[in-house]
């Protein structure tokens, strides 16, 4: 595995272009675009204020830089460095900005979710969408970029509007049968919309593209409900993670539950492999004195090399005791991801934070459990191969594939690694051995993010105390 | 002095223990003055008890009634027999009493034990009841708790529900306010021509697809709808295609399975010819069906048309296969049971025949055993006579056995007693023998002297007289002679037999207590210390229980005294005896 040198970064803003050719990174109000193959700076743009959000357009031609504090969005073109575009939301304010799938429209959400403004780069036209709902995931585009579903709130009722992205025409508008809608997500085939209710109620609704209610599912009552939802890439399965620590998988024919994946704290099935991260025996050199500095002990996790060990069978995993009298308790399945080849599902149960559970979707049973030394922050599947990258916020990136798993230490220079503050301004990038891809087109929109995400997460984890700087 | 009185003396001495109390009682009853009254009283008593009168039947009324000695003796004898019987009965009763007493003890101990058991079981029961009660109490408490919990749950649910409604209500209120504010803000911020809200762009870029944007019209709307439906349609078509493909694959698998099943089942049909006809017909039907179904055209038909046929044929085939497999399983298990040395499975008939044969053999064996047993029993019965068999049979009765045991132990005890007595007797005999020897020597010397002194007397006559004087007043001469004769000879020739005879006499008594023996023995020793004549006298002495004889003997005492003159040799002995009599009385 190859590593690049360390680049400076602010606000954890660093993104690969969807075609995998470029890398955009921000330092304060400057945006640098590098070519991935050479890592040379291709373009350098200067924005009006400190950049808070960047996003590549789907065709990798434009970059959107949002400065929420100023209510400003600046768009840069990679092909025409001189081309510029500045969108000012004025007194309405700005809380979110994103590209439409066609890469020619920008959707800005004003403060207080008063409206969404759709700015077009092709025409002078501006569209407004009123009453957007402020929720976890209120906007979703179909994979082909044709339709957008938007959650709305009018008269204390939830509505869903389906827009045609090409001309922002309202296609369907229907009331959702929810108390307090929290998220919507299109199926990858773009024909079914999954809608889930607030965590107070376990409710999953499935709507067809034309607004028909296909099915509704409720596993239990009187308890905290859905925490996360994930579609399988084939649209065959809908995985629903809930606060009871279980994942329920619904099928796409009857929309009934096929199986229930519990996350037990003790694993006693010899068919399941449990990989346990363990520290390699640190070499006791001259520098490693018995009275090591506490700071050294603190960073030991990020600097010492670790390895995986196959645990012998009755394995009990570390659990957190959730604080139940606080909102958003750390229980339940909060993160889920299907592998792109549809064979595996990776999950994390929030009260067993150190473990990643990998389920075999074909057999619908637990396949592998990875227990890390530190809580798992994020994981992402490689869009090309069956490979999972896991970030825990330490100095390591972990990779799992059906063949096995490994722990990779990120090489950072000693003085950089020692102080957490420096980590806030620098990002290190891990580049895989197959990087860059020989065929850029083959790399789909998610491609580069696979590698970038664990890295950026690593930055998040270490710099969070001084994010304000 | 009558001979009967002597006899009665004898009998009484042998039958009844001579106790002083009795004699004193008798003495109180009858004295010399009231003999007549006593006799009459006795007569009355006896007649009252159904005995013949003691008085002679006299022809003349005036004559004084005479005492009928014979009747009296008979009565006495009768009484004695009765007494003996009574004693026997008493003994029986005593043993029975003993037995009953032991039984009683046993029963009492049993009773005590049972009582204890009852008590303990009662205690246990009470304990269990207590536990049961406690458990029930606990159960009740738990039920109460459960109910409380349920109530609590219900309450909490109600609270949750009410809170939820309250919350929703509040939320709605707040949201309305919020919406109002939003509206207001919107009006304030948006409707005012905000110069700032603008897009500053260098030049508009072309669309990604290269087309120009179109105007929004009804047409575009319709087109959008069309497209949406197209997409949905495509999705459904895609899914249908997938389902069709899946279906086709499944059909293929089904067909293959069917073929394999047919190929598997058809050779089987030919092999066992004897199989029932119906199964073969089914098979042929199935084959026909299969042939029909397996034609490509049929497969391509929609499922609805063929479904029933197909499922039916599959079902029948499946049934056949299942039965076949079951049969095979049975066979396999049979083979396992029979062992692997037999390469072929034993046919059922063979098996049955074999079992039948074996059963027959068993029957025969049983019969043989029975006849043998019978023969043995017969032999046994013929060998032993009826009594023994009855005894044997009796022996089987436990009660009997126990009784016998008890009796046996009793006998043993008696035997032991007897043995002890015998031992003492032999000792006494030995002593007597020694004393006798001394006495004989003495007597020899004395006789010598006598002989020397009385050469003038006829020794036979003198002896007779002497004896007569000893047992005076007896009218029954025959008995006297019978009795006296051996006695007379005793000093001379059969003197050695005297201790033996006494022992014999005592032994012949059926139930003489040891005290009797002691007395007799002491008597014997006393006599042994005195002279030989004294012995003979003393032998009769225990028999002097009869009142009359005593009185008679007393009354007759002076008579030998009167004859003293003629019998010089015996006054000493006579007085001696009388003194002794007095002592005894």
Q: What is the pLDDT of residue B152?
A: 92
**Reported ipTM:** 0.71
- Return the number of other C-beta atoms located less than 10 Å from residue A455's C-beta: 21
- Mean predicted confidence (pLDDT) in A278-295: 54
Contact A167 B216 (CB under 8 A): yes
Helical pair B547-556 and B20-29, crossing angle rounded to 10 deg? 80
- What does DSSP say about strands A365-371 and A273-279: parallel, antiparallel, or unpaired? parallel
The whole-angstrom distance between residue B250's C-alpha and the CA centroid of its chain comes to: 77
Distance from CA of A92 to the nearest CA of B (A): 6
Contact A122 B204 (CB under 8 A): yes
Q: What is the pLDDT of residue A314?
A: 84
Q: What is the pLDDT of residue B62?
A: 61
Q: Which two tokens stand for residue A121?
A: 């780069």
Q: What is the pLDDT of residue B387?
A: 59
Whether B19 and B584 have beta carbons less than 8 Å apart is answered as no
Dist CA A25 CA B27 (whole Å): 157
Dist CA A62 CA A17 (whole Å): 9
> Which one of A64, A70, A112 makes the best mutation probe of the B interface by having the most chain B beta carbons within 10 Å?
A112
Residue B526, CA atoms < 13 Å, CB-side half-sphere:
20
DSSP secondary structure, A266-287, as one string = EE--TTSEEEEEEEPPPP--SS
Strand, coil or helix: A180: coil
Q: What is the pLDDT of residue B363?
A: 92
User: In chain A, what percentage of residues exceed pLDDT 70?
Assistant: 81
Report which DSSP code applies to A91.
G
Q: What is the pLDDT of residue B565?
A: 41
Own/partner long-range contacts of B185-194 (Cβ < 8 Å, ≥24 apart)? B185/A112, B185/A114, B186/A114, B186/A115, B186/A130, B189/A90, B189/A91, B189/A92, B189/A114, B190/A92, B190/A114, B190/A115, B194/A90, B194/A91, B194/A92
A147: nearest CA partner in chain B: B228
**Which tens digit of pLDDT belongs to each residue from A134-144?**
888 899 999 88
Name the residue among A82, A164, A179 with its Cβ closest to that of B224. Answer: A164
Q: Which two tokens stand for residue B539?
A: 């032998």
Distance from CA of B253 to the nearest CA of A (A): 20
Question: What contacts A351, CB < 8 A, 6 or more positions away?
Answer: A245, A319, A320, A321, A322, A330, A331, A332
**Which tens digit of pLDDT belongs to each residue from B257-266?**
888 888 877 7
Q: What is the pLDDT of residue A281?
A: 66
Q: Which residues of B touch A102 (CB under 8 A)?
A: 207-209
Q: What is the pLDDT of residue B63?
A: 60
Q: Is B196 on the interface with A (CB under 8 A)?
A: yes
Q: How many residues does chain A have?
A: 469
Whether B566 and B465 have beta carbons less than 8 Å apart is answered as yes
Q: Which residues of A touch B202 (CB under 8 A)?
A: 82-85
Q: Is B191 on the interface with A (CB under 8 A)?
A: no
Q: Using the CB atoms, write b or e for B141-173: b if 16+ within 10 Å.
A: eeeeeeeeeeeeeeeeeeeeeeeeeeeeeeeee
**Residue A64: pLDDT over 50:** yes
Name the residue among A90, A122, A167 with its Cβ closest to that of B220. Answer: A167
- Bond into B48 cis (ω within 30): no
A378 vs B385, higher pLDDT: A378
Q: What is the pLDDT of residue A322?
A: 77
Q: Which residues of A touch B183 (CB under 8 A)?
A: none
Q: Is A327 on the interface with B (CB under 8 A)?
A: no
Ranges of chain B with pLDDT below 50:
1-20, 272-294, 296, 457-459, 461-585
User: In chain A, what percentage of residues exceed pLDDT 90?
Assistant: 24
- Mean predicted confidence (pLDDT) in A166-186: 89
């Amino acid at each position: 595995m190859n590593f690049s040198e360390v680049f400076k970064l602010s606000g954890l803003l660093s993104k690969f272009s969807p075609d995998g050719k470029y890398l955009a990174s921000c330092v304060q109000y400057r945006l640098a675009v590098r070519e991935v193959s050479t890592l040379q700076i291709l373009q350098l743009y200067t924005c009006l204020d400190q950049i808070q959000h960047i996003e590549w357009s789907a065709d990798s031609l434009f970059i959107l830089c949002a400065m929420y504090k100023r209510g400003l969005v600046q768009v840069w073109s990679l092909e025409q460095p001189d081309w510029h575009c500045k969108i000012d939301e004025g007194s309405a304010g700005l809380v979110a900005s994103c590209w439409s799938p066609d890469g020619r429209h920008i959707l800005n959400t004003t403060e207080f979710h008063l409206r969404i403004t759709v700015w077009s780069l092709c025409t002078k036209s501006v569209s407004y969408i009123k009453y957007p709902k402020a929720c976890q995931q209120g906007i979703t585009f179909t994979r082909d970029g044709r339709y957008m579903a938007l959650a709305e709130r009018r008269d204390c009722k939830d509505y869903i509007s389906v827009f045609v992205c090409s001309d922002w025409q309202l296609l369907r508008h229907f009331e959702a049968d929810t108390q307090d809608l929290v998220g919507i997500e299109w199926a990858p085939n773009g024909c079914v919309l999954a809608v889930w209710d607030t965590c107070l109620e376990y409710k999953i609704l499935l709507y067809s593209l034309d607004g028909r209610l296909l099915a509704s599912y409720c596993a239990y009552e009187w308890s905290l409900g859905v925490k996360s939802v994930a579609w399988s890439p084939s649209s065959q399965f809908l995985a629903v993670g809930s606060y009871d620590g279980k994942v329920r998988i619904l099928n796409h024919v009857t929309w009934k539950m096929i199986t229930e994946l519990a996350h037990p704290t003790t694993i006693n099935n010899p068919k399941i492999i449990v990989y346990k991260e363990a520290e390699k025996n640190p070499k006791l050199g001259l520098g490693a004195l018995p009275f090591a500095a506490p700071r050294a002990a603190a960073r030991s996790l990020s600097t010492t090399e670790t390895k995986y060990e196959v645990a012998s069978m009755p394995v009990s995993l570390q659990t957190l005791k959730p604080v139940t009298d606080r909102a958003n308790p750390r229980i339940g399945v909060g993160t889920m991801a299907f592998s792109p080849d549809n064979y595996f599902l990776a999950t994390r149960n929030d009260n067993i934070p150190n473990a990643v559970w990998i389920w075999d979707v074909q057999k619908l049973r637990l396949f592998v459990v990875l227990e890390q030394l530190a809580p798992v922050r994020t994981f992402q599947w490689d869009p090309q191969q069956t490979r999972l990258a896991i970030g825990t916020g330490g100095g390591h990136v972990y990779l799992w594939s059906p063949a096995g798993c490994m722990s990779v230490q990120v090489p950072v220079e000693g003085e950089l690694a020692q102080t957490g503050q420096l980590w806030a301004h620098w990002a290190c990038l891990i580049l895989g051995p197959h990087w860059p891809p020989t065929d850029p087109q083959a790399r789909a929109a998610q491609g580069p993010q696979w590698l970038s995400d664990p890295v950026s997460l690593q930055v998040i984890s270490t710099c969070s105390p001084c994010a304000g700087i | 002095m009558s001979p009967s009185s002597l006899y009665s003396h004898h009998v009484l001495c042998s039958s009844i223990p001579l106790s002083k109390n009795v004699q004193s009682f008798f003495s109180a009853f009858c004295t010399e003055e009231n003999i007549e009254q006593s006799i009459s009283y006795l007569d009355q008593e006896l007649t009252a008890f159904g005995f013949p009168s003691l008085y002679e039947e006299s022809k003349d009324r005036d004559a004084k009634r005479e005492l009928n000695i014979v009747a009296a003796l008979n009565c006495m004898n009768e009484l004695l027999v009765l007494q003996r019987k009574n004693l026997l009965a008493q003994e029986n009763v005593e043993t029975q009493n003993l037995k009953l007493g032991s039984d009683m003890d046993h029963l009492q101990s049993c009773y005590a034990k049972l009582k204890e058991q009852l008590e303990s079981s009662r205690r246990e029961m009470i304990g269990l009841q207590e536990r049961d009660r406690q458990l029930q109490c606990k159960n009740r408490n738990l039920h109460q708790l459960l109910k409380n919990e349920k109530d609590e749950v219900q309450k909490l649910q109600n609270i949750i529900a009410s809170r939820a409604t309250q919350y929703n209500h509040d939320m709605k209120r707040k949201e309305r306010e919020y919406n109002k504010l939003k509206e207001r803000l919107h009006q304030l911020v948006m409707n005012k021509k905000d110069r700032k809200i603008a897009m500053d762009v260098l030049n508009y870029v072309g669309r990604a697809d290269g087309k120009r944007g179109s105007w929004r019209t009804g047409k575009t709307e319709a087109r959008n709808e069309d497209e949406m439906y197209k997409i949905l349609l495509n999705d459904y078509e895609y899914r249908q295609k997938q389902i069709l493909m899946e279906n086709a694959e499944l059909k293929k698998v089904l067909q293959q399975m069917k073929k394999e099943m047919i190929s598997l089942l058809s050779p089987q049909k030919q092999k066992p010819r004897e199989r029932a006809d119906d199964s073969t017909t089914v098979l042929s039907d199935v084959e026909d069906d299969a042939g029909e179904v397996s034609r490509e055209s049929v497969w391509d038909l929609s499922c609805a048309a063929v479904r029933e046929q197909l499922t039916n044929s599959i079902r029948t085939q499946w049934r056949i296969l299942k039965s076949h497999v079951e049969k095979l399983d049975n066979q396999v298990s049979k083979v396992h049971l029979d062992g692997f040395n037999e390469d072929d499975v034993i046919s059922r008939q063979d098996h049955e025949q074999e079992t039948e044969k074996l059963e027959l053999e068993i029957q025969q064996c049983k019969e043989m055993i029975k006849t043998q047993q019978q023969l043995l029993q017969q032999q046994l019965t013929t060998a032993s006579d009826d009594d023994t068999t009855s005894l044997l049979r009796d022996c089987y009765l436990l009660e009997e056995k126990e009784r016998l045991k008890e009796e046996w132990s009793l006998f043993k005890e008696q035997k032991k007693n007897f043995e002890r007595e015998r031992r003492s007797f032999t000792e006494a005999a030995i002593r007597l023998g020694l004393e006798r020897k001394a006495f004989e020597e003495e007597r020899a010397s004395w006789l010598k002297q006598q002989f020397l002194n009385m050469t003038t007397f006829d020794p036979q006559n003198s002896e007779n007289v002497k004896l007569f004087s000893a047992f005076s007043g007896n009218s029954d001469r025959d008995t006297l002679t019978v009795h006296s004769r051996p006695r007379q000879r005793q000093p001379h020739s059969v003197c050695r037999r005297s201790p033996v005879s006494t022992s014999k006499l005592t032994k012949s008594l059926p139930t003489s207590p040891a005290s009797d023996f002691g007395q007799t023995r002491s008597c014997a020793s006393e006599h042994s210390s005195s002279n030989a004549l004294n012995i003979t006298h003393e032998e009769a002495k225990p028999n002097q229980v009869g009142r009359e004889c005593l009185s008679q003997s007393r009354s007759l005492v002076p008579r030998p005294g009167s004859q003293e003159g003629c019998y010089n040799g015996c006054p000493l002995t006579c007085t001696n005896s009388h003194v002794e009599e007095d002592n005894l009385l």
